[in-house]
Structure 1
């Protein structure tokens, strides 16, 4: 009985030591670096007497883990108060594009990858918000996450209009 008890105590001590080492060796949680941009944009498909400016807000966030950069955007929009709710047929298409760029001093940052996230249905339902899924790409050294609203207004005769946002801080 004494041998069994001794073995149990030794096993418990070893497991406790291993568990403590695992907690100490766990990597810290990644903290994202973010920048926020708010824009007021005109509905290019409407030229009537009522207010038609949309408020678009985008927070670009990025973090690094090893040789990968991870980026996502927190988006929100406010429909003009004079619009019906929902706002059908405001857009022919609407999306937000997340860019992953290598950060280069003294030159435009080259795009390494990008991904589009469709927003037309969400935006035509009225005021709202959306957080894009996290997007990753291998980028050596320094990188930034960047983005742009890409809106194709209904009845304006043009294609997508590009509304840039401020890139995340360099990670």
Structure 2
């Protein structure tokens, strides 16, 4: 907190000086109130996704849980998505050939379903290809927060886009449920 230098006020008449010093002390000690963080409301959905690039005898399903959260601050809707997965155990550790690409897209939709803003996050690919010391692929990824003006009744949703290595089909999309309306 800054120190208030009152030397200049020593010349103020005593009848008025005390009130000025008190007022300055109150103003100097008062900071603007912190704006409260918006209260996020979230929904969660789960899908079991097959690794389309693998057709061997071992289990290859990924259980993907995506939580979509949204909050309103005046006319602005803020949203993010967080993915958690329980993937299979592959022989190779930290295998960069599981996916050719992966993105987690978060979208803001108006009440009528029209997308007014979207943001893709590609950092999920390397996280999904990382493993623990036994080859298990479990982890989490959170998108940056997307902010956009949206009318009342708007909500957010997420789409997981995966391009499995070796399947030749390009990106497959997996739609995840929407946040509560905010």
Shorter-chain TM-score: which interval? 0.7 to 0.9
2:39, 2:171 → 1: CA distance? 33
1:131, 1:148 → 2: CA distance? 13
Tell me what 2:84 maps to: 76
Residue 40 (str. 1) matches residue 45 (str. 2): no
- Superposed CA RMSD in Å reads 2.2
Could you list the runs of 5+ residues in structure 2 that have no partner in the other structure?
1-9, 132-137
Residue of 115, 122, 126 corresponding to 2:119 = 115
Could you list the runs of 5+ residues in structure 1 that have no partner in the other structure?
none
Tell me what 1:11 maps to: 24
1:56, 1:84 → 2: CA distance? 21
Structure with bigger gyration radius: 2
- Worse-matched range after superposition: 70-79 or 94-103: 70-79
1:134, 1:158 → 2: CA distance? 30
1:92 counterpart SS class: strand
1:9 counterpart SS class: helix
**TM score, norm. by length of structure 2:** 0.79
1:12-64 deviations in Å (ceiling 9; x for gaps): 24555xx38x43xx543310010011221110011110010112121100111
1:80 counterpart SS class: strand
Tell me what 1:129 maps to: 140
2:102, 2:170 → 1: CA distance? 11
**TM score, norm. by length of structure 1:** 0.84
- Matched length: 162
